[in-house]
Amino acid sequence: MTSAMVRTSIFDPARHLDDEQALAGYLDDARATGDAAFVADALGVVARARCTNRSAQAAGRPDGRAASVWPRGGRGAQ
């Protein structure tokens, strides 16, 4: 039996939070868990998403979203 190597990439929720409603919903869901560490992480994700979205708008992207937050292959890719 042979096994194929599965390639994965790191999921970054900031790439999918492209408007204030999505950001607010993400924070609300984080708070609802009652997990302080998750809430703290969610605040960082929201800050990163806002920065990325502002940068994309300043660069003139019509959809206001960055083409890619991380280089091809994701953060930490070999």
What pLDDT does 77 receive? 44
- Tell whether 50 is covered by a domain: yes
- Tell whether 48 is covered by a domain: yes
- Tell whether 7 is covered by a domain: no
- Tell whether 28 is covered by a domain: yes
Where in the sequence is the domain holding 51, given as residue range(s)? 14-58
How far is 64 from 55, CA to CA, in rounded Å? 8
- Tell whether 30 is covered by a domain: yes
Domain count, the chain: 1
Model pLDDT for residues 42-66, shown as the tens digit of each residue:
999 999 999 988 887 788 876 656 5
- Tell whether 44 is covered by a domain: yes
SS3 34: coil
- Tell whether 4 is covered by a domain: no
Model pLDDT for residues 7-21, shown as the tens digit of each residue:
998 989 998 898 899
- Tell whether 5 is covered by a domain: no
Phi/psi zone of residue 73: left (φ > 0), alpha (ψ -120 to 50 degrees), beta?
Answer: left
What pLDDT does 39 receive? 97
